[in-house]
Chains A and B, each alone.
Chain A
């Protein structure tokens, strides 16, 4: 049995599937709501542009070593011959941008900015995706439990969400990232830093999804199909997993997509403040922090800044398009 993919609270209650299928079989050739949403999404050119950019970014991140091999230099390699040794800025105009160095070179050591931006995508996307996954899992689980069981459980989880939302997250993140030693939980180096950032960012952004899921669950559990399942003797796990969750896929997907750019920005902010992944591993936020010291060399800030801007914009546009497609009444 599949439940209708719909958002509750709508004016038109979904008809039982059998009836719908029987009546409109000829007219719409059995297109599911998912297919309809996909059609709508395809028609939304802005969202598709966002999607294309996202795909390109993911490819860039995955194949970073290959791309850098073809178009750049290793991200940690010094090119001091490109740098004026008395002022420490690139010798050539426009920050040394050339066919050899597509985005120019960094002041001080002359590292290839192109390679560092490409490698920076790895860290940014990895942390953003994993953190979003973590917060989605926690948020959905607790949101459904709160919404479905209600009462004391709901109060407890809802207050916990309030506490997390009111928490001075940045301050806490800086403190936590500062005190964790170099080796912990069997991890070390970059792996530990990435895991730590994923934990901090993911663990503190779950209430955003949790609240949405709880609200949806609250209204879904009063619906007829849930009552029907209950009257047939279904137990809570069955109802949650087979009746509620499939109906929650749309809002979860939308908010997860919109959470990713927030997390990218948060990771960049932490790296900018020096509590992210440790140097010399390139990160966009870390590059911006260094660029701030060389404001006479604006190209240094431009490329990592653009990378963050484009990525965040792409995810936001795609997320908006996805929401429009899945829930056209939200327009």
Chain B
């Protein structure tokens, strides 16, 4: 499992979600271009927890632009967060995240399936039943075999190097199975069974109670075997959703038009308001922001927020700021504190680091209040269902650190005058360098002397900070780190960074410092818990236990500053996408 990519350096940051409702000044500035339907009042964070400009009016063209390009439009081969949001316009998976603002948007609802998955007793077998009347864009009916074929082809990592690997890793594939191109006509019913055209059964190698989250990922979007062209399929993906490709000019952009064979009766989740969707790719990022502000395009599809240049225009101007939303992402920027490096093997020395760290400096390193993030006091970002923020190491009234407490713990650790250690960071990431500099400054106040150790990011986890023997040998007491989850769930967020069993002596793990047997046990326990609501307290318990051990210094929960599109209706941010929900949008 690798973390979901963000298109650019996640430009992020700002006020707590709770402030959304009361934030911003009431103004209608910048809304002059609108004619139809009364303009809703533009407010800072107006689309964060509720629908901005709600409407059911159909028709019109939505214009998207991308400063880069998709990794691939093929559902088996894409791993960008924005792509998983956008792909739902031309593809339907077994389940999907509800198209709804705020926390409601993080719930999984059935899409192609009539209902959520039915697990067996041991959570190793999951069964879905398809709805009636489903059709591809060419009118051929969608069967469970098309879904099974789509998942099978997604396991071919040579043809599709980009896509998520959860299903490849967790299903019980025949030994040596390499997808339908190489392992032609190999029976893969040990992994996926399709007893009839409506039923599909997944067999897992291990129990997993959150399988519905995996079923919403794009590899379960059906692909007709007859039309599959392998690596070239990305040039014309056969639509199962409300829109289909009209033309696709690779490197320049593409256009989507209505799919005549999509039946709204089979799809309660997609309003499908616009008639046409135009996408331009490889647009200069700063130019894109300017056109966004002028209304020439509607949405920056990457959804990571505006560039610094635009930010310096927007933030001082109340009218422009009122047209922005500032969601918290499910991404934590943090610093691992390695208990394998002396004197950090002593918990009091680790606590001294947590107390002495200047949290406002950490926030500033990532870009400040609006584009950096919200100061984090624990691991789980608040938008993950069930997350309850807590603070075991309050860093003073102004957030710059509690030096008295830090000194107390240094004394308890037997290092009253501080100690020396190193801090690793990824050399290519200026924000991580700034973090290291900020920590160097703030820890020096209690005598903890840090030496900066930049490492190339490509090998950061495989050879350096993520390789336990290297950490010990080179005394990398601290390592700047970060993690974003692939789906809004405690397991997806916490497991890779706190389960000690993901640590490999040969390197490569994002978990650098957490080795707590109790936490491992709690993960095992959670896999057997069917009720999502009952799993939530487990995530909080894990979060608390890790913080008690003082092996992670939480920095900020990332935020992004999104420019709210002008002239669009039904604009909102859902907790699953952490950007505007592209399925809901309509034109004024």
Contact = CB atoms under 8 A, between A and B. Distances in A.
B361 A87 contact: no
A178 B308 contact: no
Interface in B181-209: none
Interface stretch (B127-135, B335-343, B448-456): B448-456
Interface stretch (B270-278, B436-444, B508-516): B436-444
A181 B312 CA distance: 40
Given A182-B474, A274-B454, A279-B433, A85 B441 contact: no
A89 B312 contact: yes
A124 B438 CA distance: 25
Interface in A52-84: 76, 78, 80, 83
Nearest to A278: B452
B311 interface: yes
Contact of A296 (B308, B441, B456): B308
Contacts of A88: 364, 367-368
A80 B452 contact: no
Contact of B453 (A76, A109, A182, A274): A182
Given A80-B364, A278-B454, A86 B315 contact: yes
Interface string A217-241: 0000000000000000000000000
B441 A86 contact: no
Contacts of B422: 182
B454 A279 contact: yes
B427 interface: yes
B309 A296 contact: yes
B437 A279 contact: yes
- Determine the main DSSP class of A at the interface with B: loop
- Determine the main DSSP class of B at the interface with A: helix
For chain A, give the interface size range: 20 to 34
Nearest to B316: A87
B260 interface: no
B437 A87 contact: no
A182 B452 CA distance: 10
A280 B440 contact: yes
Interface string A282-311: 000000001001111000000000000000
A37 B383 CA distance: 77
Given A290-B430, A293-B430, A108 B364 contact: yes
A264 B368 CA distance: 35
A178 B464 CA distance: 13
A274 B370 CA distance: 28
B156 interface: no
Given A78-B441, A86-B370, A280 B315 contact: no
Contacts of B427: 274
A161 B436 CA distance: 42
A328 interface: no
Given A182-B474, A296-B309, A85 B368 contact: yes
B369 interface: yes
Contacts of B344: none
Contacts of B360: 80, 85
A187 to B, nearest CB: 14
A290 B361 CA distance: 18
B441 A76 contact: yes
A85 B438 contact: no
B365 interface: yes
B558 to A, nearest CB: 16
Given A78-B441, A80-B361, A274-B427, A85 B454 contact: no
Given A88-B364, A178-B456, A278-B454, A296 B438 contact: no
Contacts of A290: 430
Contacts of A295: 309
Interface in A172-199: 178, 181-182, 189
Interface in B349-401: 360-361, 364-365, 367-370
A274 B441 CA distance: 21
Contacts of B315: 86-87
Nearest to B425: A279
A89 B437 CA distance: 17
15 contacts: A78-B438, A80-B360, A87-B312, A87-B316, A109-B434, A109-B437, A109-B441, A181-B474, A182-B474, A274-B428, A274-B454, A278-B452, A279-B433, A279-B452, A293-B430
Interface of A: 76, 78, 80, 83, 85-89, 108-109, 178, 181-182, 189, 274, 278-280, 290, 293-296
Q: Which 8 A-B pairs have the closest CB atoms?
A: A87-B312, A86-B368, A85-B368, A280-B437, A86-B369, A86-B315, A86-B370, A88-B368
